[in-house]
Amino acid sequence: MNGDEALLLPRQKTLGDWMRDGESDTTAPLVVGIMYPAEWELRPRKEFERDIAALKAVDPRIEVLDVRYSETEQLRTQRGAKPNEDYRQLCPELTQQQRDAFGRVEIALAMDLPFDVVTVAPNLRWVQGMGAGASQLLSAGLGAAGIRLTNAAGVNAVSISEFVLARLLQQWKRLPEIDAMQRAHSWEPKYGKEIAGSTIGIVGFGAIGRQVALRARAFGMEVLATRASARPSAPRRACPRHRSARP
């Protein structure tokens, strides 16, 4: 268990559980806030709207607010590295639209939250983080306020594994040198390595490691993987022909 996982409050309820929580007013809306950075939304608008419609179809009481709140990457990193530090002077000032949204939401899909979030979001009960790391969200005071936090471990495994293979090909095929020659309008042969038949070592065989292994096998590579815990069934499903090495 990493540091972020150790700090996460255990998730015991699903969205359906919230809807069946025996509240006195069973007609009151359950307000869900879409608050992660807009630039993280890679779906076409029609797909986004389709997914929001599917969420609302779970229960007619669900109301979705699409009001984004985001901080700079630098501030997010600082808050994540030192969740007990007070960086509120670096946070963006909330707009009236954001204040109104925070004042109503009970569930937030977020990557960032204001400090002392309970003061601006008194109804907030559950925060779904948009990545594996969650320390920057914990710094908003969720634990002290009893607000549940869940992360999205593995959600970026495919994109990161594709990046790993892209960088590997970039180096082994000497693409930076070829790009430099193209910019200089000159040419001389550059011979890279074939990755087929090569051996790749993967330290850590979680969600990202398994996705890297799948893609490496597709290129004809031999995969050696090691992990701290012994769960042979997971690697076997993800990469049938891998060889597992444990310390």
Q: If you average pLDDT over every residue of the chain, what do you get?
A: 85
* More confident position, 243 or 202: 202
Q: What percent of the chain has pLDDT over 90?
A: 68
Cα of 12 vs its chain's centroid, Å = 20
Question: Is 70 exceeded by the pLDDT of residue 20?
Answer: no
Question: Is 90 exceeded by the pLDDT of residue 40?
Answer: no
What pLDDT is stored for residue 28 in this prediction? 86
**67-125 pLDDT tens trace:** 999 999 999 999 999 988 999 999 999 999 999 999 999 999 999 999 999 999 999 99
| Model pTM above 0.85 | no
Average pLDDT over residues 210-232: 89
What pLDDT is stored for residue 216 in this prediction? 96
* More confident position, 139 or 1: 139
What pLDDT is stored for residue 16 in this prediction? 55
Helix (H, G, I), strand (E, B) or coil at 222: strand
**135-156 pLDDT tens trace:** 899 999 998 899 999 998 888 8
Q: What percent of the chain has pLDDT over 70?
A: 82
Question: Is 80 exceeded by the pLDDT of residue 240?
Answer: no
